[in-house]
Amino acid sequence: MNRLILKSAAVAFGSVAVSLLLTLIIVPALGFPISRTIWLTSTVCPLALAWIASATTFWQSERLKSAHRELARAHAQLAAAHRRLSEKASRDDMTGMLNRESFLAALDGSRRKSDRGALLIIDADHFKKINDSFGHLTGDDALLLIAAAIERGVRSGDVLGRIGGEEFAAFLTGATEQEAKRIAERIRREVELIRFRPVDERTVPLTVSIGGTTCGEGIGVSDLMRAADRRLYEAKHRGRNLAILDRDVPEAA
């Protein structure tokens, strides 16, 4: 407010100065004497009119600036809320990993950026037995422990998702066959080391079976998923708590 008054005063006094200067030039040139009335008119009228007009103009300008700032702030808050909602919609509520749709989209995007990589599908062994024996809430606790173990097993930058009830997936960007085998085994071991005690201090073993495949350039997401699923089925069939990987899926024609 003080700034607005000072600006209005500056404009008003400037207007008075210009008015007096014109009066001193024009009135004598017309052959009239400069009377008290002329002095008052040349001073009071521009002072009052300029002050009121400039104050109104500056006030409206400040309101517009304030409205613009509020609009920009609201837009930033809306954009942030939209990002949070988009992020939340892409995540599994329980584990915080990408949900199935978002994982497949991220997998497709990663495949476009990298010529190499490996896909792992990780399935919790005998998980229905845990749910049936201890209830779904205890089963959720077990899934959270498994998810944390998977996160410990992968590298920074790898893409993780929960793609089913007790099924997870990891895309190991740029990984070679040997790297993928090491990471799959590390995940399997991290889960096996979990000491899960849902009731009465009795330890319930947690294990996972892992099927995976490394891939070359131009391989579609569906082909990768099918290849990894085949290896997962093989791991389950051979007794579970295993990690089995394919060699490269043949490149698309």
Tell whether the model's pLDDT for residue 252 goes beyond 50.
no
pLDDT score recorded for residue 139: 92
As a whole number of angstroms, the distance between CA 42 and CA 55 comes to: 20
Q: What is the pLDDT of residue 253?
A: 37
Minimal CA–CA distance to 167: which of 83, 78, 235, 214?
235
For the four alpha carbons of 24, 25, 27 and 28, in that order, the dihedral sign comes to: positive
Q: Does the pLDDT at position 42 exceed 50?
A: yes
Going by pLDDT thresholds of 50, 70 and 90, the confidence category of residue 251 is very low
The question of whether 166 is a catalytic residue gets the answer: yes
Which residues are CB-contacts of 225 (< 8 A; sequence separation ≥ 6)? 119, 121
Catalytic residue, from 166, 167, 201, 251: name it.
Answer: 166
What average pLDDT is seen over the chain?
Answer: 80
Q: Does pLDDT of 240 surpass 90?
A: yes
The residue type found at 205 is P
Element (H, E) at 60: helix 36-89
Say which range, 2-16, 50-64, 140-154, has the weakest mean pLDDT.
Answer: 2-16
This model's pTM is above 0.75? no
Query: Which of the residue ranges 9-13, 238-242, 245-249 would you say has the lowest mean pLDDT?
Result: 9-13
Q: What angle do CA 233, 234, 235 make, to 5 degrees?
A: 90
pLDDT at position 95 is: 93
Question: Average pLDDT in the 30-43 region?
Answer: 60
User: Per-residue pLDDT for 162 more than 50?
Assistant: yes
Identify the sign of the CA torsion 238, 241, 246, 252. positive
More confident residue, 20 or 173: 173
Best mean pLDDT range from 31-40, 70-79, 195-204, 220-229 = 220-229
Q: Is the pLDDT of residue 35 over 80?
A: no
Alpha-carbon gap, residue 203 to 78, rounded angstroms: 48
pLDDT at 235 > cutoff 90:
yes
Residue 165 is given by DSSP the state S
- pLDDT value, residue 171: 95
Tokens of 48: 């009052």
User: One-letter amino acid identity for 248?
Assistant: D
**Cα maximum dimension of the chain:** 118
Choose the weakest-confidence range: 36-40, 58-62, 196-200, 212-216.
Answer: 36-40
Q: Quick one: pLDDT at residue 210?
A: 97
**pLDDT over 70 (residue 226):** yes
pLDDT, tens digit, 9 for 90 and up, residues 89-141: 789 989 999 999 999 998 888 777 766 889 999 999 999 999 998 899 999 99
